[in-house]
Amino acid sequence: MDKFSLAGKTAVLTGAARGLGLEFADALASAGANIAILDVGNPGDNLEKLTAKHKVTAKFYKTDVTRRGEVEAAVAAIEADFGSVDINVNAAGIVKDEPFLSTSDINLSSTFSVNFVGSFLVAQACAQAMVRKQKKANGSNGAVGATHTTNGSIVFIGSVASHVPTTVQNISVYCASKSAVRGLVKPLAMELASYGIRVNSLSPGPMKTDMYKQVAAEQPAFARQVERETLFGRVGNPDELRGVMLFLCSDASSWMTGQDLLVDGGATSWNYPAA
């Protein structure tokens, strides 16, 4: 059996209308997963391209992940449309460069609302759906036996910024929000293990997303410093996270829960030169 196969599985991803989230969706679809995307932004023709490329079903659910009602309604619709929720990847996030001494209430509130509260609410709703699926399969309370491998996989997207700050950005609120997200992993892994649900996080280093390219074009000094902070002297390409994401979401990592995978090009492995 191919433990990397996700055939017949349904993956719920937030923030996947574009950027890293869309890359994750494509990676999971390539392994056979059907894709449900929750986002406030419209994916345009990205879902049609994904469906045509991988011959899977992909649907978009316009959802503000900071609002419990919208999240619960979206997950209920996904259960009705796809039959189950098997995977949840929480990639929705925002960041604003703002010095700590003048950080605004708006930045503080919006960053934690999207990055932490949104991740919490979607993971909670998806975990509830996974438990419902298990109850239908097992009857009783949905708890699984010792021989069961995986009833579901939840992956939070953290950040290298929750491990070490960069010298060229003032993003204390973002760093704190991602640290809070990473703080969910171990307690949720403990609480959900009896239902066969694994919980892990992926903390990427700086990635060459469209947003990064725009900032790098406007601030070349920023780009040069970020590149200096990795051992390879460059930022990562989004496709370099595909294998890690597929590993976390599939039974290839069936013995792994409560962990954070740091994929940062070695940025946290040395004392890099300051700006």
- Secondary structure (H, E, C), 204-262: ECCECCHHHHHHHHHCHHHHHHHHHCCCCCCCECHHHHHHHHHHHHCHHHCCCCCCEEE
Residue for token pair 């599939």: 250
What is the total count of domains within the chain?
A: 1
Residue 1 reports pLDDT greater than 70: no
Residue 147's pLDDT band (cuts 50, 70, 90): very low
- DSSP string of 98-145, one letter each residue: --GGG--HHHHHHHHIIIIIIHHHHHHHHHHHHHHHHHHHH-TT----
100 in a structural domain: yes
- Model pTM score: 0.95
The burial class, CB within 10 Å (0-12 / 13-18 / 19+), for 233 is: exposed
Cα–Cα distance, 249 to 54 (Å, whole number): 17
45 in a structural domain: yes
Contacts of 129 (CB under 8 A, 6+ apart): 75, 78, 79, 84, 85
Contacts of 127 (CB under 8 A, 6+ apart): 88, 152, 154, 188, 192, 195, 197
Residue 145's pLDDT band (cuts 50, 70, 90): low
225 in a structural domain: no
Could you tell me the CATH number of the domain that includes residue 179? 3.40.50.720
Catalytic pick among 174, 195, 212, 272: 174
- pLDDT value, residue 136: 87
Tell me the mean pLDDT in the region 153-160: 97
Per-residue pLDDT tens for 223-256? 999 999 999 999 999 999 999 999 999 999 999 9
Tell me the residue range of the domain where 196 lies.
Answer: 10-205+238-265
Q: Is 272 a catalytic residue?
A: no
